[in-house]
Structure 1
Amino acid sequence: MAELNTGGGDGKGKKVRSKKQNAGVDLTAMVDLAFLLITFFMLTTSMNKPQSMNLAMPDKDKTDVDNETLVADNRSMTILIGADNKIKWYMGRTDAPLEGPQDQTYGKEGIRIELLKKVKAIPQITGDPEKGLIVIIKPSKNSNYRNLVDILDEMAITNVKAYAIVDMTPEDLAILGEN
């Protein structure tokens, strides 16, 4: 507290100085507020949700003796992914394809055109709108991950409902021209 010297003094000219106290600020309320805000934002913030793809497993009653899924030849399209961005496709089985194998490129001027044609044509051929195109994707060991992601993107863009990623057979490697 400050003092005011008003008295006439003895004339010696000494000034009486007040003691200066350090100003102290109580930070308890500030710390409490900071913890309340941190708690509030921790509880109200939404974390990144994990993204996943839907997984459809084949029916057990639609498999043959070797436990392989039976697929109609006129509905199945096989896409072979090879090294150096190479891609081939064919309709039907490997040993007796109904159409192809044909070389193709990635993107809207390549495989997307063929997929869109087949997505429209298959329900008309089968006469059932529920029976659409089934795509079997077979990446080789020499293919890269980006090409697989590109094909999966094409499945989403062309609205192909049923597709599977399967291991390559030696016949498929022969079609692709790899060892």
Structure 2
Amino acid sequence: MAQLQEKPESGKGGKRRARKLNTHLDMTPMVDLAFLLLTFFMLTTTFSKLAAMELQMPADTKVTTPVPARNALTIVLGENDRIYYFFGFPGDAPAVTTTDFSAEGLRKLLLSEKVKSNQKQVVLLKAMKESKYRNLVDALDEMRITGTKKYALADLEAADRELLEKHKGKFEAL
């Protein structure tokens, strides 16, 4: 607590002088209070929890399940947050379309009647080297949000690259 210390009056003459008071402020209780508050807030604060997505990985076997072209939707994650997609496989020369990660983009595609009406629809996610890791995570989030049950991460093959190169001029104008 604060204490005031008085200096004794000197005995000169009959004049009374104003007292000079020295103040001493004890900071010990303030430091104790600060540490108590700090401890309280540290113990009662909820730290951010890791947001993890659970993926079910296939067994480590060499057996693959073929997907018919009518049930395949291939989504290729490209550069500058761009998404290329086509129905079927590259050998069938499908029409390639582009979209983005907005609500009117990938989500609208995954919720479209063409995708939802086919119960055997399998979405193949493929990423270019120019795409970002964040794009893959965003695409996986969209799979979960839209309730897409069957999807797989696949490697971008040479046939996919050729198909995208063939349609590249159409997309550069965008």
- Label 1:29 to 1:156 Cα distance change in 2 as closer, same or farther (>3 A): same
Aligned partners of 1:80 and 1:176 also within 8 Å: no
Aligned partners of 2:73 and 2:85 also within 8 Å: no
CA distance in 1, matches of 2:79, 2:19: 86
- Label 1:153 to 1:140 Cα distance change in 2 as closer, same or farther (>3 A): same
Q: Which residue of 1 aligns with 2:99?
A: 106
The percent identity for this pair of structures is 42
CA distance in 2, matches of 1:20, 1:113: 80
Kindly state the Cα deviation for residue 139 of structure 1 after the two structures are TM-superposed: 1.9
Output one character per residue of 1:15-42: Cα deviation in whole Å (capped at 9) or x when no partner.
2447634122222212111110011011
Uncovered stretches (5+) of structure 1, i.e. residues with no partner: 5-11, 124-131
Output one character per residue of 1:119-159: Cα deviation in whole Å (capped at 9) or x when no partner.
42222xxxxxxxx5321111222445565456445424432
CA distance in 2, matches of 1:162, 1:78: 12
Q: Which residue of 2 aligns with 1:122?
A: 118
Indicate which of 128, 151, 162 corresponds to 1:163: 151
TM-score (ref. length: structure 1): 0.64
Q: Which residue of 2 aligns with 1:49?
A: 49
Indicate which of 73, 86, 91 corresponds to 1:89: 86
CA distance in 1, matches of 2:53, 2:116: 24
- Label 1:34 to 1:80 Cα distance change in 2 as closer, same or farther (>3 A): closer
2:160 maps to 1:172: yes
Counterpart residue identity of residue 121, structure 2? L
Counterpart residue identity of residue 173, structure 1? R
**Aligned Cα RMSD in Å?**
3.6
SS in structure 2 at match of 1:88: strand
- Label 1:104 to 1:147 Cα distance change in 2 as closer, same or farther (>3 A): farther
SS in structure 1 at match of 2:124: strand
Q: Which residue of 1 aligns with 2:67?
A: 72
Counterpart residue identity of residue 118, structure 2? I
Uncovered stretches (5+) of structure 2, i.e. residues with no partner: 1-5, 167-174
Aligned partners of 1:82 and 1:176 also within 8 Å: no
Aligned length: 155
Aligned partners of 2:75 and 2:83 also within 8 Å: no
CA distance in 1, matches of 2:128, 2:65: 22
Q: Which residue of 1 aligns with 2:37?
A: 37
SS in structure 2 at match of 1:32: helix
Larger Rg: 1
